[in-house]
Amino acid sequence: MKKLFSEFIKGVIGENPTFVLVLGLCPTLAVSVSVINGIGMGFAATFVLLGSNVIISMIKNFVPERIRIPCYIVVIATFVTITELFMKAYSPALNRALGIYVPLIVVNCIVLGRSEAYASKQTVRDSLFDGLGMGVGFTLALILISAIREFLGSGTIMGERLIKGFEPAFVMGMPSGALLVIGLLLAFFNLLKGRRA
């Protein structure tokens, strides 16, 4: 039980896909402009991660090594399609907001990265918790980054204007601003880590 919990937690903190593993940057940069989008993308990606990690872990012994990457892609694409259809049916507004980045979860480095590095080598149960942890870690990272970017870049949080007369810095809506935010957050986390040591 303890091991499963540590599998989960490592995805959130120790091996956070965005801040530690440096994966999934392209969608992060594009989607983290507002908190709502960040949450939506995070949930969608988590679902895909869970599904693909579990399935790939189940079939890992049957997939020939020489064509494993295309096979994983097919599995991932299937789950992405399920997610997309689900979203179109039950949350069309979010689907429109996330736009092209929902189908692009197929090329989200995190998903293929975990399939290749973990699910293809570990048990189904471990892979499930790894997927869950990574997904939650990704979602939290997205929320953090988009909170900062949304506040500084358009003066709102979840669409609510917080301070009157605040001049938003448009750079925050651009990928350059996202890179800056991630770099500074990373430095901040390192600082905290250093203090504790």
Please give the residue ranges that form the binding site for another protein (CB under 8 A).
22-26, 29-30, 66-70, 73-74, 77, 103-104, 106-109, 111-113, 116-117, 167, 169-172, 174-177, 179-180, 182-184, 186-188, 190-191, 194
Closer Cβ to another protein, 65 or 160, answer by number: 65
Q: In the chain, which residue ranges form alpha helices assigned H by DSSP?
A: 2-12, 25-31, 35-59, 68-90, 92-98, 109-114, 124-154, 175-196
Beta bridge partners of 174: none
Q: How far is the CB of 73 from another protein (least distance, A)?
A: 5
- Please give the helix or strand (H or E) that residue 156 lies within, else none: strand 156-157
Shortest distance (Å) from residue 58 CB to another protein: 20
CA gap 70, 76 in Å, rounded = 10
Q: How many Cα atoms occupy the beta-carbon half-sphere of 165 within 13 Å?
A: 0
**Minimal distance, residue 1 CB to another protein, in Å:** 29
Instruction: Pick between residue 73 and residue 97 the one whose CB is nearest to another protein.
Output: 73
Question: Considering beta carbons, is residue 5 or 14 the nearer one to another protein?
Answer: 14
Q: How far apart are CB 2 and another protein at their closest, in Å?
A: 27
Here the tokens at position 56 are 């790939």
